[in-house]
Amino acid sequence: MGSTVKGLVPPNPRLQRTRAALPLQTVRGETSPLGGVRRAPLSRKPFGGWSAIRRLPPAVAMILAATVTSCSASKNLDAVESEVTRFHQELTAGKFDQIYTAAADDLKKVTGQQEFVKLLRAVNSKLGPTRVVKRTGWNVNVTTSGSFVALTFDTQFEKGRGTEQFVYRITGGKALLAGYHIMSNDLIVN
DSSP assignment of 74-138 equals HHHHHHHHHHHHHHHHHHHHT-HHHHHHHS-HHHHHHS-HHHHHHHHHHHHHHH-SEEEEEEEEE
| Residue-wise pLDDT tens digits, 83-135 | 999 999 999 999 999 999 999 999 999 999 999 999 999 999 999 999 999 99
Q: Is the pLDDT of residue 20 over 60?
A: no
Which domains does the chain carry? Answer: 75-189 (3.10.450.50)
| Residue-wise pLDDT tens digits, 125-134 | 999 999 999 9
Q: What pLDDT, on a 0 to 100 scale, did the predictor assign at position 173?
A: 83
Q: What pLDDT, on a 0 to 100 scale, did the predictor assign at position 98?
A: 97
